[in-house]
Chain A
Amino acid sequence: MTDITPFLKELLTAPGLSGYEDPAAEIISAKWKPLVHEISRGRLGSLHGLQPGVGKSPRPSVLVAAHMDAIGLMITGCTDGFLRLTQVGGVDPRVLPGTLVTVYATGAGGRQPIPGVVVQPQSHLLPPDIGTGPVPLEYLFMDTGLPARSVADLVQVGDVVSYAQPPVELSGETISGHTLDNRASVAALTVCLEELQFRPHVWDVWAAATTQEEIGMIGVTGSTFELHPTIAIAVDVTFAKGPGANNWQTSPLGKGPTLCMGPNIHPALHKAMNDLADKLEIPYGLEYSPRHTGTDGAAMQVVAEGIPTLVVGIPLRYMHTPVEVVAIKDIQRAGRLLAEFIAGLTADFVEKITWDD
């Protein structure tokens, strides 16, 4: 298995906010080109790569989706050279003060990245009821340090802002970076495509790096409708156990991907993947989702006439902060499990899926 870390690190340094995924899409497209037969963009910008199967036509198809968009911020205005912000996706403002960021300006200076910091004004400049408490996003600013007139010229309302934290390898073969949600899963999907290159598989495989999941699973809905797969698999990060997160919704870091179960997942598909992981001795955890999973899988399951769906999770600490952490091994295990599952799909697999009543 090739080392996925260099690709992951390259991906983690590129911006790609929801709705503005092109920089990420370019890197992923370059990586997938040698691995797939054809590459295209969906109508809402999702990247679609096809590895055709060897089975007799018409072949069933599996769509594996990992969203490539990232949360971030957007400029809403400028006060005396200090840029006002709104969130794109779910951002806890408490992790923002002091965070290094980059605004992708589109003003008079043309398109250019400008570095800066998200700053918290001194208390006397804030409403009195905030005191020393957490400061809501509407009172934080991005400061580029540039003179006010330059900022007003260079930066426009609507320009996107991404975290500027570079990826860092931590001990124990873990990596920290700001868009591991969900670039870790894109890496896992890439591992899967690499493994499948040399394994004949009956089914067509569509790999999709989807857009705007953080806004409401928007890209995947269109991709699923367009590609109309026989079964759907979503790969997304899930909550790893760590400081402040230790309850039933969390899984251990570094002990394998998670297999989700609940109303969003077809029980026969879950059982098939579960049994396979046992057989291959790939470690995994079980994740229980009493309602839908809040991932691309939630949207895929109810497109058109409904699609049997699986959700695979990669445990991640500190989700939606600039310093998310995953275990590289979990990425590789997820990729390998996906590849083995897909390679093992027989032509009549779906007919054999019944409701185990």
Chain B
Amino acid sequence: MPTIGNAQLRLLEKLCNACSVSGDEGEVRRIVLEELKGHAGDVRVDSLGNVLVTRTGSGPTTSLRAGKKRLKVMVSAHMDEVGLMLVADDGDGLFRFEIVGGIDLRQLPGKAVLVGKDHLPGVIGACPIHLTTAEERKKIIPLDTLRIDIGPGGGKAKLGDRATFATRFQRNGPVIIAKALDDRLGVVVLLELVKNAPPNIDLLAAFTVQEEIGLRGAKVAAYAFNPDLAVVVDATPANDLPSWDGEDNNSYNTKLGLGPTIYIADSVTFSDPRLVRHISEAARTENIPFQFRQPGSGGTDAGAIHKARAGIPSVSVSVPHRYSHTAASIARLDDWKNTLALLHAALRGLTPELLTPDRA
């Protein structure tokens, strides 16, 4: 049975401290490939850099499509994080940069960053307050005035290098503070599922790339795998802070501490209702706390997967975390543990009969 213990925490630390901006996922890919050694025979890297793993089950064969095969279940987590790309050299160690993926501009000034494969340290500064006016301070600092400063005479950074926030992973009792919890939390869960794959299914694990810039890795991975159904493991925002006026916060998305989040609908996918029912029933049976994500905004790799080929029933299950896409995200250990427990229980309980009635 998979579990979250010290080994998994060390792995999460290594993954969160690694730098893998969308399109440049090499460092996390290396860690994932290393972790998979000895656990799965069929591992390959495709033309976009996705890591695709097949673990054939060993249980009895029944099939929802004629031909005696087990249910082919794709489970995915994305390896990439949002970050920056150096695009112009101003000289003197100062670089103009662009944002890769969605980052609120207000999260950038005054941060330490790591640049390139060698994790060269740099900073994104801001004008000293003494030299600003009250009028100026009412406006956002525009992107084209921000620079990454690696120090004068630095010279080792080059255009095209990616950069990430420099936050180091921390664990404090039940709390984890790190960058890139979206989706390193999911990557560890998926690795544990591969290592403990239940025998009743053929598990097709996809460690995808370029989720943050358009679900591009998942699109081709789903086409290649052509599964019977898909489950996406991501990390989703918990916007559960108090409102300025004391009113109820009606748009919290999810809440920290209430357990793994099952998606009903986001802005790009309607989860297959049969899968939503199956997973929530598994949670109730196994006494695992869970919550439903507020419908409406955001998206996961399921957005690309469910539209692949002739359509793939899909659902997302995510770990709630605060301050997504910023220098420091926060999550609770229990939510993460329960996500892994819930997914394993749900996969164990899958049978082809689940998909025989029409989608409703």
Q: What residues on B are CB-neighbors of A354 within 8 Å? A: 45
Residues B45 and A355 in contact, CB atoms below 8 Å apart: yes
Given A290-B87, A301-B48, A302-B219, 18 extra CB contacts under 8 A: A249-B87, A261-B160, A262-B23, A263-B23, A263-B213, A288-B159, A290-B213, A292-B216, A303-B220, A305-B224, A306-B48, A306-B217, A306-B219, A306-B224, A354-B45, A355-B45, A357-B29, A357-B30
12 A-B pairs within 8 Å (CB atoms) are namely A247-B88, A263-B24, A286-B160, A290-B85, A303-B220, A305-B223, A306-B220, A308-B47, A355-B26, A357-B26, A357-B27, A357-B33
Q: What residues on A are CB-neighbors of B48 within 8 Å? A: 301-302, 306
Q: What residues on A are CB-neighbors of B213 within 8 Å? A: 263, 290-292
Interface residues of A (CB under 8 A from B): 247-249, 261-264, 266, 286, 288, 290-292, 301-308, 354-357
Shortest beta-carbon distance from B119 to chain A in Å = 15
- The yes or no answer to B22 lying at the interface (CB within 8 A) is yes
Residues A301 and B216 in contact, CB atoms below 8 Å apart: yes
Shortest beta-carbon distance from B271 to chain A in Å = 23
Residues A305 and B220 in contact, CB atoms below 8 Å apart: yes
Q: What residues on A are CB-neighbors of B99 within 8 Å? A: 290
Residues A262 and B220 in contact, CB atoms below 8 Å apart: no
Q: What residues on B are CB-neighbors of A302 within 8 Å? A: 48, 216, 219-220
Interface members, chain B 93-119 (any A CB < 8 Å) = 96, 98-100
Residues B96 and A248 in contact, CB atoms below 8 Å apart: yes
Interface members, chain B 212-269 (any A CB < 8 Å) = 213-214, 216-217, 219-221, 223-224
Known interface pairs A261-B160, A263-B24. Does A306 touch B214 (Cβ–Cβ under 8 Å)?
A: no
- Taking CB as reference atom, which chain B residue is nearest A266? B47
Closest 10 CB pairs of A and B: A263-B23, A306-B220, A248-B88, A305-B224, A248-B87, A357-B26, A290-B98, A290-B85, A306-B47, A308-B47
- The yes or no answer to B42 lying at the interface (CB within 8 A) is no
Residues B88 and A355 in contact, CB atoms below 8 Å apart: no
Q: What residues on A are CB-neighbors of B47 within 8 Å? A: 266, 301, 305-308
Residues A291 and B220 in contact, CB atoms below 8 Å apart: no
Q: What residues on B are CB-neighbors of A292 within 8 Å? A: 213-214, 216
Shortest beta-carbon distance from A278 to chain B in Å = 15
**Please, what's the 1-or-0 string for B198-220, where 1 marks a CB less than 8 Å from any CB in chain A?**
00000000000110011011011
Instruction: Report the separation of the CA atoms of residues A249 and B159 in the bound assembly, to the nearest whole angstrom.
Output: 12
Q: What residues on A are CB-neighbors of B27 within 8 Å? A: 357
Q: What residues on A are CB-neighbors of B30 within 8 Å? A: 357
Residues A291 and B219 in contact, CB atoms below 8 Å apart: no
Residues A286 and B159 in contact, CB atoms below 8 Å apart: yes
CB contact between B220 and one of A247, A248, A264, A304 (< 8 Å): that residue: A304
Known interface pairs A306-B220, A306-B224. Does A355 touch B160 (Cβ–Cβ under 8 Å)?
A: no
Interface residues of B (CB under 8 A from A): 22-24, 26-27, 29-30, 33, 45-50, 85-88, 96, 98-100, 144, 159-160, 209-210, 213-214, 216-217, 219-221, 223-224
Known interface pairs A292-B213, A301-B216, A302-B220. Does A262 touch B46 (Cβ–Cβ under 8 Å)?
A: no
- Taking CB as reference atom, which chain A residue is nearest B100? A290
Residues B22 and A263 in contact, CB atoms below 8 Å apart: yes
Q: What residues on B are CB-neighbors of A306 within 8 Å? A: 46-48, 50, 217, 219-221, 223-224
CB contact between A263 and one of B88, B96, B210 (< 8 Å): that residue: B210
Residues B49 and A355 in contact, CB atoms below 8 Å apart: yes
Residues B223 and A356 in contact, CB atoms below 8 Å apart: no
Instruction: Report the separation of the CA atoms of residues A354 and B29 in the bound assembly, to the nearest whole angstrom.
Output: 12
Instruction: Report the separation of the CA atoms of residues A103 and B244 in the bound assembly, to the nearest whole angstrom.
Output: 58
Q: What residues on A are CB-neighbors of B144 within 8 Å? A: 247
Instruction: Report the separation of the CA atoms of residues A290 and B214 in the bound assembly, to the nearest whole angstrom.
Output: 12
Residues A305 and B46 in contact, CB atoms below 8 Å apart: yes
Q: What residues on A are CB-neighbors of B88 within 8 Å? A: 247-248
Instruction: Report the separation of the CA atoms of residues A264 and B22 in the bound assembly, to the nearest whole angstrom.
Output: 10
Q: What residues on A are CB-neighbors of B98 within 8 Å? A: 248, 288, 290
Shortest beta-carbon distance from A254 to chain B in Å = 21
Known interface pairs A290-B85, A302-B220, A357-B30. Does A262 touch B49 (Cβ–Cβ under 8 Å)?
A: no
Q: What residues on A are CB-neighbors of B29 within 8 Å? A: 355, 357
Q: What residues on B are CB-neighbors of A305 within 8 Å? A: 46-47, 220, 223-224
Residues B100 and A291 in contact, CB atoms below 8 Å apart: yes
Shortest beta-carbon distance from B72 to chain A in Å = 16
Instruction: Report the separation of the CA atoms of residues A124 and B96 in the bound assembly, to the nearest whole angstrom.
Output: 46
Q: What residues on A are CB-neighbors of B26 within 8 Å? A: 355-357
Shortest beta-carbon distance from A232 to chain B in Å = 10
Q: What residues on A are CB-neighbors of B24 within 8 Å? A: 263
Shortest beta-carbon distance from B91 to chain A in Å = 14
Instruction: Report the separation of the CA atoms of residues A305 and B223 in the bound assembly, to the nearest whole angstrom.
Output: 6
- Taking CB as reference atom, which chain B residue is nearest A288? B87
Instruction: Report the separation of the CA atoms of residues A291 and B209 in the bound assembly, to the nearest whole angstrom.
Output: 12
Shortest beta-carbon distance from A115 to chain B in Å = 42
- Taking CB as reference atom, which chain B residue is nearest A232? B47
Shortest beta-carbon distance from A80 to chain B in Å = 45
Q: What residues on B are CB-neighbors of A247 within 8 Å? A: 88, 144
Instruction: Report the separation of the CA atoms of residues A261 and B144 in the bound assembly, to the nearest whole angstrom.
Output: 21
